[in-house]
Structure formats: C-alpha cells, structure tokens
C-alpha cells in the first residue's frame, strides 16, 4: 500500500523533474523515473543558514549528492556527519581543504561563505582540481570575479554560480513567452528587491566581509533579473543611494539604492534594492503586446505569477534541489542551462554592480561594456 509519505516524495520528485524539461513539455507532469546516470558528489563549504538550506534541499536530488563538508567549526562538522551520514575522510577545515585534491570521492565544492571569502576559496578549490560552485554574488567586484574565472579555466575545472531562479518554472515560462514574441517589443522592466535586515552584528553589515550592503545581498536579483527578463545586457546605468540610518548602515554598506538600466533594444529597467522595507519581491515586464508579473519573484517559497493571458500554473519546486540536479547535468554531462549560470555570467552582474556604486557615488551615468 502506498503511504502518504511515499506519495509526497513521488510528487516532489515529479515537480523537481518537470522544471528540468524542455519548455514545451513543462506543462505535462510526467511520472518520476529512476535516474541511473552519473551523480555529482558535492562538498559544501560554509555550514551556515544557507548552506543548511542547500543541504536539506539536496536530500530531494536525484543527480547530486552531499558527500562532504568544509567548515571552521568542529561542532558543525560533527553534527553534519551524523545528520547526513558524511564519512570523516570527506570532512575538512579551512586550513587543510587543499587536500581535497587527493579525494576521488568529491567532484565539486559549493562555496557558501561570506562574499569576500569566495575569491580565495574558489581559487584554492580550482587548484585542487575540483569543480567550483559559488553562491552569488560570486565575489565583491568584477576584477576579483575575472580572477576566479581565469583560475578555473587554468585549472581545467568549471565554475558555476548559484543562480537558482534560472531554473524556476514560472520564470522560464515568462522567458519562453517573451522569446515567442507574446509580449511584443519589450520596453520596460521593474525589479523590486528588499527586506528589513535584522541583527546589526551579522556579516552582511560588515563591509569587509560583504563587500557592500543591500545591493550585494538582495539587489543582485534585480540586476540579474533585468537581464534575463528583458533578454539583453544593459549598455548604461544611473543610480542614487539613500541612507536614513548611518549608524546601522556604516560606510561601505548601502541601505537603499535606486538604479536604472538602459538596453540596446530601447528597453529600460527601473529597480530598487533596500535593507529597510519589507514586501519588496516583484518583477514586472511590459511590452507592446502584453505583460508579465512575478510576485513573489525570487523568494525561497512558492513563486507566483501572471501575464496578460492569465495566471501562470507552473509547478512549485524546491529551488536549490532543482539547481543542484541541473548543475550535475552541466558539470558531468555537458548539458546547457536555459539561462547561463557560469562565472562569466556572474562577472557581468558584478560589472553592473560596480557601475551602480560608481554612479551612486558620482551622480553620473555610467556606460557599460559587458
């Protein structure tokens, strides 16, 4: 007899699998099939809140498996060993993880540490001969990002970045509709990304670790979203910063930034990134023949959307599980993602963010060459 738990597990597996299907097949929920291909064996570096979220999501993966950890906290390593059945030989700290080069049971390392630590970690992992997955933003500026890309190319390994929304079904359906011309000529995008940040002592409010404030944390969703929703790279940017709490948001930590992007096809994007307002997670795309809205657009929970043709009814997925299964296909089988998610893609976002900060600082329009 099929138990409720069995049913829910199969339902979840089907939902995850559907989001990886070609666009024309996404509306059809197919029975889950047993996966018999290669499995990506992953070690997570950084066992904080998001590392934990990824680890939990990976329990639903069919093509990727959590097999190792890297942490500076021995107690966390012990707890993860017990919870996820990780062998001691696959556990490392921040001093010895270069030894991962001698471990054939690990294919890739997912770096989920504070932003400013990504650069050195990815380069060390690459030199150890392992594929690199890095949480976004990939690092604190475009120059460091390019160094990471170059290091991975030199080492002959691949570099992917945790752009989970690039595999989200509602997002992909809007992109399919745009590519099919269903919105006519796209002329406008709005991205609102923000929340009220809590603990003033957390690393995200430390410029040495974060490399910036809301823009580096939540604003990057609107930066990247403007590009994949419009389907072009911007050629210019203007920006303005507002800071109402200079005590909490010290120098180097932006509180709120409004920025505008100009695109070669004539479209414009108007976006807001903030650490001081909740209920800001909305993408809106408008063209001469229709529109699309995602609300919420990038949160961890269910994404919801509608267009001028009605409500979107794509399946709800576990974003990180879908991402990791897709990454397995990219790294092990050469599959092509629906939207680029490699290091070069991340460098483009970092160039835009660099320009946003420059414009906010100088008051000038900044030309972009991506």
Q: Which residues are catalytic?
A: 136, 221
Number of residues that this document lists for the chain: 370
The pairing of beta strand 40-45 with beta strand 108-111: parallel
Q: What is the DSSP string of 65-98?
A: EEEEEE-S-HHHHHHHHHHHT--GGGEE-TTTGG
339: burial class by Cβ within 10 Å (0-12, 13-18, 19+)? middle
**84-to-39, 81, 92 alpha-carbon distances in Å:** 16, 6, 15
| Gap between the Cα atoms of 270 and 256, Å rounded | 14
49-58 vs 319-333: helix crossing angle, rounded to 10: 70
| Gap between the Cα atoms of 218 and 197, Å rounded | 11
The pairing of beta strand 40-45 with beta strand 64-70: parallel
| Gap between the Cα atoms of 268 and 288, Å rounded | 14
Other C-beta atoms closer than 10 Å to the C-beta of 176 total 15
**143-to-16, 163, 335, 347, 354 alpha-carbon distances in Å:** 35, 20, 28, 8, 10
DSSP state of 342: B
């Amino acid at each position: 007899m099929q138990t409720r738990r069995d049913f829910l597990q199969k339902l979840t597996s089907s939902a995850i699998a559907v989001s990886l299907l070609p666009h024309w097949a996404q509306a059809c929920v197919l029975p889950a099939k047993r996966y018999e291909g290669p499995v990506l064996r992953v070690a997570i570096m950084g066992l904080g809140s998001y590392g934990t979220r990824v680890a939990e999501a990976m329990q639903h993966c069919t093509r990727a498996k959590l097999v190792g950890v890297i942490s500076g906290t021995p107690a966390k390593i012990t707890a993860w060993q017990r919870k996820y059945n990780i062998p001691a030989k696959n556990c490392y700290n921040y001093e010895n993880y270069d030894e991962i080069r001698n471990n054939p049971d690990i294919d890739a390392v997912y770096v989920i540490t504070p932003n400013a630590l990504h650069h050195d970690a990815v380069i060390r992992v690459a030199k150890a001969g392992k594929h690199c997955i890095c949480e976004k933003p990939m690092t604190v500026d475009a120059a460091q990002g390019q160094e990471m890309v170059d290091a991975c190319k030199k080492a002959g390994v691949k570099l992917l970045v945790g752009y989970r929304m690039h595999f989200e079904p509602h997002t992909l359906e809007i992109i399919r509709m745009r590519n099919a011309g269903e919105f006519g000529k796209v002329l406008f995008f709005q991205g609102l990304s923000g929340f009220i940040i809590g603990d003033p002592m957390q690393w995200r409010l430390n410029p040495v670790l974060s490399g910036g404030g809301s823009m580096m944390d939540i604003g990057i969703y609107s930066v990247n979203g403007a590009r994949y929703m419009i389907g072009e790279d911007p050629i210019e940017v203007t920006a303005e910063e507002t800071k109402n709490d200079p005590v909490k948001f010290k120098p180097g930590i932006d509180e709120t930034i409004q920025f505008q992007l100009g695109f070669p096809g004539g479209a414009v994007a108007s976006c807001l990134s903030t650490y001081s307002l909740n209920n800001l997670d909305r993408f809106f795309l408008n063209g001469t023949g229709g529109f699309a809205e995602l609300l919420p657009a990038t949160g961890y929970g269910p994404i919801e959307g509608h267009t001028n043709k009605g409500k979107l009814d794509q399946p709800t997925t576990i974003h990180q599980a879908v991402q990791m299964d897709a990454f397995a296909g990219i790294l092990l089988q050469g599959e092509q993602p629906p939207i680029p998610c490699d290091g070069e893609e991340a460098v483009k976002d970092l160039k835009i963010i660099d320009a946003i900060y420059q414009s906010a600082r100088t008051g000038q329009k900044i030309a972009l060459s991506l």
